[in-house]
Amino acid sequence: MDIIVFQQNGSAEKKTAGIRKYATGIVIKKIFSLDGTFPEIIDFPMEYVPESFDGDLVLNFLKHPDLSDYLVELCEEKNIPVVTTGKPGKGFTPFTCCGLGRNQKLGDYGKQFGFPAYAVEVRDERIADIRILRGAPCGATWAAIVDIIGMRVEEALTRLPLQVEQNCFADPSGFDPISGKSPVHYAGNVHHAALKKALEEARQRDEGKNKS
């Protein structure tokens, strides 16, 4: 799967680090960097956003709304799915990179990155093993589990989301007006929920084994 990335003043560098390190069958084919200072209103965004790109998915990290909106329009014309994180509009617009839902149009990227998912094994109320089934493209999901194995379940449920927040590259000032939460807190919450779900699934598996 070929991914095209658009960034503004390095806005995608840290947020896509996990793709390069942890992805399988995904290649960042091209990164378009739009650097410098832009006017508050851009009447002709086509002068800045190149049109000669092609791929299976576009990750849009452009900050200027006129540039971002124009890129989304281009992707629609090219029939290329586009993920624009943190901004409402057309295409896929998760609040954070780790808040992306599953969708067939997102291909292998959507299978590997977005809302986190774990597979966990528990022994004697401690985390015996943890595997990441789906995680954040910034890599925070992977960084957060380094010290989790061997930890008591209660402690892991508290520690893991905090470690995610420490490794999250979202802008903490970008509060959601509805929930009042910042993207960093949101990232911690979705990882906490994912671990809680994995622990429940592990408990059900163990109960099934005991019954058989």
Q: Find the CATH number of the domain harbouring 179.
A: 3.90.1010
Range of the domain at 127: 117-211
Q: 131 and 197 in one domain?
A: yes
Indicate the number of domains in the chain.
Answer: 2
Q: Using the predicted structure, report yes or no on whether residue 178 has a pLDDT greater than 90.
A: no
Q: 193 and 142 in one domain?
A: yes
pTM for the model: 0.90
Question: With bands split at pLDDT 50, 70 and 90, how would you rate the model's confidence at 153?
Answer: very high
Asked whether residue 100 is assigned to any structural domain, the reply reads no
By mean pLDDT, which of 110-114, 131-135, 178-182 is the weakest?
178-182
Pair 116, 167: CB distance under 8 Å:
no
Mean pLDDT calculated for residue range 163-171:
89
How far apart CA 48 and CA 69 sit, in angstroms, is 12
Asked whether residue 99 is assigned to any structural domain, the reply reads no
Q: What is the pLDDT of residue 165?
A: 94
Work out the percent of the chain whose per-residue pLDDT is above 90: 84
Residue 79, phi-psi category: left (phi > 0), alpha (psi -120 to 50), beta (remainder)? left
Asked whether residue 105 is assigned to any structural domain, the reply reads no
Q: What is the pLDDT of residue 189?
A: 95
How far apart CA 80 and CA 82 sit, in angstroms, is 6
How far apart CA 92 and CA 84 sit, in angstroms, is 6
Pair 7, 31: CB distance under 8 Å:
yes
Reported in sequence order, the residue ranges of 12-102 that DSSP labels E, i.e. its strands, are 27-34, 57-61, 82-84
Q: Using the predicted structure, report yes or no on whether residue 169 has a pLDDT greater than 90.
A: no
Reference 17, options 195, 193, 168; nearest CA is: 168
Q: End of a domain among 58, 93, 128?
A: 93
Q: 122 and 198 in one domain?
A: yes
Q: What is the pLDDT of residue 89?
A: 87
Asked whether residue 178 is assigned to any structural domain, the reply reads yes
Contacts of 161-168 spanning 24+ positions with Cβ under 8 A: 161/188, 161/189, 161/191, 161/192, 161/195, 162/188, 164/136, 164/140, 164/188, 164/191, 167/138, 167/139, 167/140, 167/143, 168/96, 168/136, 168/138, 168/140
